[in-house]
Amino acid sequence: MSDPSLFSPGEPMLLVDERDRQYLITMPGPDDPVIRVRGEILSPEVLGQAHDGGVISDPLKRRYLVLRPTLEQVVLNMPRQAQVIYPKDLALILMWGDAAPGQTVVEIGCGHGALTMALLRALGPQGRLITYDIRRDHLNRTRKNIALYLGPEHLERWEPVWANPAEEGIAQREVDRVFSDMPEPWTLAPAVAACLKPGGVWTAYVPTVLQLSQQVQTLDKAPEFGLATSFEALQRFWHVRPPSVRPRHGMSAHTGFIVVGRRRWRPESEADLSIAPEM
């Protein structure tokens, strides 16, 4: 019987050195190139004997804790060209966006798939995620990251769409939630209003305060939306090495703003009104 704590070829591995530095690698097969970490070769034979939660050594006797990476560790360590959404923001996006198992969700802008992977896990085996992006290379990279870090079975619940929804609209209707990560989310307001069911949640992630302001103003003025809320998250870790207990010198400060709005129900007789009815 095979040992489930051992790693299979092609499976992601996280190596953590004595200084808590993390290295995200893929378990090589017998015919794959060797893996180099900090300039030293880790052979498939050595890595093949590594257990989840165990320790291995390189030729210089430097020791590494070996783990199956969590999604947080994948997001921060996976190769990327585009800036990812940090885990501290991903957690709040999922909570405030109210992503839940079984929902049908539209995502606009995927980068390299950090939010995409978080959504697929939150939606569960009965959920469905449709991702729009204007860059085909981002969709291709996200597809590869989903298959590698979550498993290829998750691709069955993911539909990539190469299109600009701000110009071409969103084909889906009566979706439960919309999540967007793009510079000008307010240009999506008509398309989101058309696809999102009444009571649904639109969560937008933007990097600057001017973008936050524009998005909130758009939600406040549009009769289809209400309850606009905006905030950011700051995260500070602590150094605990008795007798020293203090905040770490560095912290994850501003990385982006989160803007949330709700889709309002409107009777057809109000469909052409430009001003929202009184609350």
Residues 242 and 213 in one domain: yes
Find where tokens 């937008």 sit: 204
CA distance 176 to 99: 9
pTM exceeds cut of 0.85: yes
pLDDT at 261: 98
Domain end call among 69, 93, 118: 69
**Domain contains 279:** no
89 and 226 together in one domain? yes
In a domain, 44, yes or no: yes
CATH number (domain holding residue 137): 3.40.50.150
Domain of residue 168 covers 73-270
Do 129 and 123 contact (CB within 8 A), yes or no? yes
Same-domain check for residues 39 and 119: no
Q: For the ranges 42-46, 208-212, 269-273, which has the lowest average pLDDT?
A: 269-273
Q: What percent of the chain has pLDDT over 70?
A: 95
CA distance 123 to 100: 5
Residues 181-220 pLDDT 10s: 999 999 999 999 999 999 999 999 999 999 999 999 999 9
Count CB-CB contacts under 10 A for residue 4: 8
Domain membership of residue 7 (yes or no) is no
50: left (phi over 0), alpha (psi -120 to 50) or beta: beta
Within a domain: 174: yes
Summarize pLDDT for 97-156 with one digit per residue, the tens.
Answer: 999 999 999 999 999 999 999 999 999 999 999 999 999 999 999 999 999 999 999 999
Given a contact cutoff of 8 angstroms between Cβ atoms, the answer to whether 123 and 101 are in contact is yes
Query: Do 206 and 183 touch, CB atoms closer than 8 A?
Result: yes
Same domain, yes or no: 38 and 130: no
Residues 177 and 227 in one domain: yes
pLDDT in tens, 16-31: 999 999 999 999 887 7
Which pairs from 89-92 meet CB under 8 Å and 24+ separation?
A: 89/205, 89/233, 89/255, 89/256, 89/258, 90/114, 90/115, 90/118, 92/233, 92/258
Residues 62 and 20 grouped into a single domain: yes
Both 19 and 44 in a single domain? yes
The domain boundary residue, chosen from 26, 46, 69: 69
Query: Do 88 and 59 sit in the same domain of this protein?
Result: no
Q: Are residues 158 and 33 in the same domain?
A: no
In a domain, 124, yes or no: yes
For 199, phi then psi, to 5°, come to 90, -10
Same-domain status, 82 and 109: yes
The partner residues of 14 in beta bridges, in order of sequence, read 24, 67
Tell whether 6 is covered by a domain. no
Report the pLDDT value the prediction gives residue 273, as an integer from 0 to 100.
44
51 domain-assigned: yes
Taking alpha carbons only, the member of 176, 115, 124 closest to residue 154 is 124
56 and 77 housed in the same domain: no
Residue 103 lies in a domain: yes
Indicate the number of domains in the chain.
Answer: 2
